Amino acid sequence: MQEVQGIYDLLGEAKKIVITTHQKPDGDAMGSSLALYHFLTVLGHSVTVISPTNWANFLDWMPGCDKVMDFEKNREQAKEKVNKADILFCLDFNIMHRTKNMEMILLDAKCIKVLIDHHQQPQEEAFDYGASDVAKSSTCEMVYDFIVQSPYADKLDLDMAACLYTGIMTDTGSFRFASTTASVHRAVAHLKDLGLDHTVIHDNIYDHLSEGRLRFIGNALLNRLEVLYEYNTALMVIPKRDLLRYEIKTGDTEGLVNFLLTIEGMKLGALLIDRDEERKWSFRSKGDFDVNIFARLNFEGGGHKNAAGGRSSESLESNVKRFKTVLEQYENQLQ
């Protein structure tokens, strides 16, 4: 995989470009994809953003979101776009299987493939060019760097800024995570200098909850939370019936796991949700406890040192039992 800067020379002439990201895209995935979409469109390229699945409706306000293609609803058209592309940008995922049913289509594509991502252990052999930097706060920060370090830095505009800020803000936990470096603040200052109104973005992301989602969060905190003080761990388990009762949609569980680390003394927060096809884990940690390694070794997952995910085809009850058994191995690290 060559350095991503090598792609700049290929952007001088109009190309057919596809941008994709991981399934169930969050603020960083959608923000980085749309920021790059606007940038490449301004340069005169024919650009299509394809999401492997649907996304949370609180992202619909983002400039260009109405043009994003949902692969699950437009499989043949999306496949044709990929097959005819000159360049494929893969954002905010490190390995192709995170695109779910798009995986083989992307692997088989004959075009130039470019990775921009901040997760550990990227599938480098699948890409021609790339930037993989786990020290970066977000893929949006990396796309910001890609734009401002290019020969076309003067093209950065407010639509790009709004998308970039969304991903930087959400992936840094509103600038409170350890990944919030000085370079993050300098990037945001630049976006503000362009005229960005950050209050509108915070309002769109955090202040448009449905009544059902708010009641779901209350029920989860009251009835689905278990605190394992001997391991400084908080566990929350959401059964499928809760999702149905409160009419939970894609994105409605976003941020729920972060509540677990607000309990004094907690070093590990684990959220388990019973989805249709599998059980999904979200892990958050403080300090030196590495949930990326924890998830990779035990729950078919991975991510970052302090934020990771996992999956299992086993039942909810089996997952909980396994989690508590596995915790015994980490007792010294969590105390």
Tell me what pLDDT residue 46 has.
98
- Which residues, given as ranges, of the chain have pLDDT below 50? none
How high is the mean pLDDT of the chain? 95
116 in Cβ contact with 131 (< 8 Å): yes
pLDDT at residue 120 in the model: 85
Domains and CATH numbers, the chain: 2-206 (3.90.1640.10), 211-334 (3.10.310.30)
Tell me the per-residue pLDDT of 204-214, one tens digit each, with 9 for 90 and over. Answer: 999 988 899 99
If you search the block for the tokens 């406890």, which residue do you land on? Answer: 289
Q: And the tokens for 130?
A: 């790339």
Nearest Cα residue to 296 out of 281, 274, 313: 281
DSSP annotation of 126 reads G
Query: What pLDDT is recorded for position 105?
Result: 97
Task: Give CA separation, 21 vs 33, 44, 114, 329, in Å.
Answer: 7, 22, 12, 34
So what's the pLDDT on residue 186?
98
The pLDDT of residue 208: 84
Residue whose C-alpha is closest to residue 311's, from 296, 325, 324: 296
Polymer length of the chain: 335
